[in-house]
Structure 1
Amino acid sequence: MPTRRSRPTASSAEPAPVVVSEELFAPLSGGMDLCYQTFGSPDDEPLLLVMGLGGPMTWWDPAFCEALARAGFFVIRYDNRDTGRSSRARGRVTRSALVRAFVGAPIRAPYSISDLAADAVGLLDHLGIESAHVAGISMGGMISQTLAVEHPTRVRSLGSIMSSTGRRSVGWQHPKLFPTLLNGRAGRDGYIRGSVRTWQLIGSPAYPMTREELERRAGETYDRGVSLSGVGRQMLAVLTQPDRTPRLRSVTVPTVVIHGLADPMVHVSGGRATSAAIPGADLLLIDGMGHDLPAALWPSFVTALRRNADRVRA
């Protein structure tokens, strides 16, 4: 299991123009619609980007998506159900239910990580894509891992970023973060204040975003649509997920696991456990990285995902 540590790299090359689609909608079975957007040429290798808890697709920064497109990918980013412009699910989740799920009590969730993975398959079906490289962050990494074990023919390579296996003994966040994640402050200004506080707690200490950057992103997120009940439903899906460790041992596609050594949200033990479970996985640990994607590290992420995808041909 190779392990590497990374620091940001830089390039002085003039970026090439990238074709960017409008935001579009994919109708799925059950009346669910997913909002998505593409970067680059459909003739290139498809790369599906899966965002984490409560995160719309816009948290995959457009400049980062364009960098991936220039690396030879046809990039697809999308809003999971209950985020952004995608459909909202049903089912009320109380804080007491979340606490019970956190301590391992049996709880029935409105939907599962497997359901979210099935949504991703539905999006690929809509686009006529038989298989894609898949990379996910946090909950998105859990969805991506589930895609690889439950829909193996749809995944060419796997990138699991700041995520975990579902095993309760690794990767779990401290319960003190629950109130911060369930940001229920009223109105746009309240959401922005809560979001800034969240990212100041879980962001990368070595690559901090400015308050102005955090406020701008929070405002854009609120304007595209936020749902406190949706975050609760997604969180319950995370808390009730099974331990994928035994099934991850059957994953045969090239895999890169990326994790920050300063991640307070998903402990680095989650990344280590993921790489240990998947045969031949490459583990990339990054000093000073928390639970976000700092722009200074984008070149390292692009290089890691490109190298991993090239292993398919090798």
Structure 2
Amino acid sequence: MKILNVNNINIAYDSYGSEKDEAILLIAGLGTQMIRWTVPFCEMLAERGFRVIRFDNRDTGLSTHFNHHDTLDFEELAKTLMSGQRPKIPYTLDDMANDTIGLLDALGITKAHVVGRSMGGMIAQLAASTYPERVLSLTSIMSTTGNPELPPTSPDVMALMTRPAPNPAEDEAGYLFHSTAFARRIAGQGYPFDEAEYQSIIREEIHRGYNPGSVGRQIAAIAISGDRRARLAKVNVPTLVIHGSDDPMFVPACGEDTAQAIPDAAFMLLEGMGHDLPAQLFETVVDGIERTAQRNESYTEE
């Protein structure tokens, strides 16, 4: 793991594969760390002939935290948005998209394929629409467009996601129970939920860089990003939208809307997948990412 200064903050990253190969940038989701892109997944992509780079978004993991800002009050955020006002927040999704390009700059990479999951998919969408000259292809996984007419997240899922979690330094077992209950709820029904594997990742996140305030700050960044469809209409790179049929966070209509908003985007609906990426689907997802990368005229197979 290495750290680079990007846009006046520190971004932690690591990579797999040869630096001579075309780069794929993996963007993590809400409040999660780069290790959610597991080593086997990264290695599988690298074996297809890519340099695979995963990183901690700002405010997560070993990248710069923004804990000097107040913890988000969800009720206050909702009231502010409903009143038509713009809440004061420390950063936006556009700032996070700028971080992805800044990381490429710091690594001396001119262009890359971008792959994002959930909030990371939103960041990848913005990177592709804002920096078309830097993005070779886009894969948006379990994400959405911000279209206000789409079905909302299930209320019980929102309640589980936003309720206060125990401090793992004081009650690690309670924190694991809290996190596991949420993960189990958003997982799909088509694949067994691997509780041991999930809790292993959560423990690693706790010890790498626990940052409880990041979820609220990133929810606020998502909330004010608004409807991105007009921006997505400008995406002119090969695009794949992957979504799970059982996703309760962003229902399948959200993936369909994303694919419809992006010109010539392909849509892959995975039966039994929820708002997660089970190991049984790694090869299917990697195949899709590779096919999308190969659609770019500048892609050359070694």
Same fold (TM over 0.5): yes
Q: Which residue of 2 aligns with 1:185?
A: 166
Q: Which residue of 1 aligns with 2:78?
A: 99
CA distance in 2: counterparts of 1:295 and 1:217, whole angstroms: 14
Query: How big is each residue's C-alpha offset from its partner over 1:173-230, in whole Å with a ceiling of 9 and x where there is no partner?
Result: 2343234223521222222111111111001211132322222121111111221211
Q: Which residue of 2 aligns with 1:235?
A: 219
> What amino acid does structure 1 have at the position aligned with 2:136?
R
Q: Which residue of 2 aligns with 1:41?
A: 18
| Aligned 8 A contact 2:126 2:231 in 1 | no
| Aligned 8 A contact 1:191 1:222 in 2 | no
Identity %: 40
Q: TM-score, normalised by structure 1?
A: 0.89
- Sort the Cα spacing of 1:24 and 1:273 in 2 relative to 1 into closer, same or farther, 3 A: same
Which runs of no fewer than 5 residues in structure 2 stay unpaired?
A: none
Query: How big is each residue's C-alpha offset from its partner over 1:116-144, in whole Å with a ceiling of 9 and x where there is no partner?
Result: 10111111111001110000000000000
> What amino acid does structure 2 have at the position aligned with 1:26?
L
Q: What is the CA distance between 1:171 and its match in structure 2?
A: 5.8
| Aligned 8 A contact 1:157 1:253 in 2 | yes
Aligned length: 291
Q: TM-score, normalised by structure 2?
A: 0.92
Q: What is the CA distance between 1:42 and its match in structure 2?
A: 0.8
| Aligned 8 A contact 1:173 1:265 in 2 | yes
CA distance in 1: counterparts of 2:224 and 2:110, whole angstroms: 29
Query: How big is each residue's C-alpha offset from its partner over 1:83-136, in whole Å with a ceiling of 9 and x where there is no partner?
Result: 111111242211223433675743232211001101111111110011100000
Q: Alignment partner for residue 217 of structure 1, among 192, 201, 205?
A: 201
Q: Work out which structure has the larger RCO, using CA pairs closer than 8 Å and 6 or more positions apart in sequence.
A: 1
> What amino acid does structure 1 have at the position aligned with 2:218?
Q
- Sort the Cα spacing of 1:237 and 1:311 in 2 relative to 1 into closer, same or farther, 3 A: same
- Sort the Cα spacing of 1:117 and 1:104 in 2 relative to 1 into closer, same or farther, 3 A: farther
> What amino acid does structure 1 have at the position aligned with 2:296?
V
Q: Which residue of 1 aligns with 2:59?
A: 82
Q: Alignment partner for residue 110 of structure 1, among 90, 110, 129?
A: 90
In angstroms, what is the RMSD of aligned CA positions? Answer: 1.6
- Sort the Cα spacing of 1:171 and 1:228 in 2 relative to 1 into closer, same or farther, 3 A: farther
> What amino acid does structure 1 have at the position aligned with 2:48?
A
165-174 vs 133-142, which moves further: 165-174
CA distance in 1: counterparts of 2:119 and 2:174, whole angstroms: 24
| Aligned 8 A contact 2:153 2:250 in 1 | yes
Q: Alignment partner for residue 170 of structure 1, among 150, 155, 162?
A: 150
- Sort the Cα spacing of 1:133 and 1:160 in 2 relative to 1 into closer, same or farther, 3 A: same
CA distance in 2: counterparts of 1:230 and 1:299, whole angstroms: 31
Q: Which residue of 1 aligns with 2:132?
A: 152
Q: Which residue of 1 aligns with 2:108?
A: 128
Query: How big is each residue's C-alpha offset from its partner over 1:233-265, in whole Å with a ceiling of 9 and x where there is no partner?
Result: 011111111211112111110000000010001
